[in-house]
Structure 1
């Protein structure tokens, strides 16, 4: 499925990101160095950015764990094919083809790590702006403390007026920095988790596709019992199994976020006309109601292809 493969529709719509920076490291996720890095991330650096720094380090460790899962998956696929080769023709063919599908899952997980890394890198930009805001906060606190100290020690000191002017400038700088932090935090947070959820959605739907074609392969196995000495009919599913793999490859290549199988969820909480989600039938825009019990089942009976998050609707 991987030899001389042309770019998929998803890759043409959204070019794949560069390989994750967490791949190919010598130390594993359980190494002492890795544990030290995660702990140190929350102990050093600007105080404002310590919590996010620790989150980013944990995410890096998670990516390395995912890489391990991807590699193990490929090893499982190869070993399944090796084991099946010594069995009857139908078992040998089906396990070989299932091994191809499992190996493809490992490849998809490997690609997922690269896309997931975009989420982690985007969070870094929030961490960096948090670190840049810390000095302005510290300066404002320091000047405020100096003014309070002088007013207690020498209320008539001419330095008080100078420091108060510096405090005004420091507060103005801090306001600009805080506003920038607020804006960037929201912008990057949405972008980061869009990367994560889109990559999760792609991986999940493609894995579901592979699972469906894998079950189709199982139908080629004749599992009817035979009596001792009875000969099982000759296996003639080679062309069918090959076509299943081709169909799976075509389905994976054609998949994009725009034509994905999962539709937008229908939320029971509706806030305004700008929402991207559909207003449930029977609910008036801007009004809320509580639906419980048997009435709730009737209310949602019209939505055959959706499942409400909650029966409670708030204005």
Structure 2
């Protein structure tokens, strides 16, 4: 008989090791403590944006869906709006709007349904889908936009919510705040709530995972990452831009804002801006052709196209 007073008691680890050696237990990885998880964090702002949507009720019980874009590195909430429901068009429009404010990310991380929600009449991600003849399906609108911009597309694995753990935790914080603030009767009022929440979340609420800084402090502390593409044997920085009413695009070069001549025929149209050192290329995203090129002159504010 074991005498616990006179003999050392084996540790829990020793007991588990002996039981496992004799195949008397079955490992259950899903029950591992959080210390076993591999924590991922992007190294720079805009290196990766996470996105997902969550359900939230109106005052009369009507269901809405809130779509959010979250910077992985800093936890900065870049965008949050309510819709009934989120559609594939919503994903594209909110992504483009967020790029207009923060610049494009180097990559995105969403689940498969997020790319174009099936319940909203769209189709899931086509990256891994194939037709009846075994050939890959054509990319949907969001996937094509990412490909055009040189943005790396990442999708979380099915039944693995920890892949998008940051935005899942953000959803919990958002819902607690909305519950405390009270249900509202209209989408417009809910969007106003979300705008107020974004200010609090980004600037007033320190986050333990980023050194007790606020997300906005972490987002603005270092240089942003950006997408790149290879063309003409060069690596070009990519920007998704809109030509202004005067037919120009603004870009910062050599410490000053420069205005690139594009042409009034392109006013208010969205284009791709590729930058490599002092050289630029402006590409029509619809037609794919080069519509303007520049070699930037640091002595001039207005840059005429070649």
TM-score (norm 1): 0.24
Q: Greater helix share, 1 or 2? A: 1
Higher RCO, Cα 8 Å, sep 6+ = 1
Task: Return the structure number with greater strand share.
Answer: 2
Normalised by the length of structure 2, the TM-score is 0.24
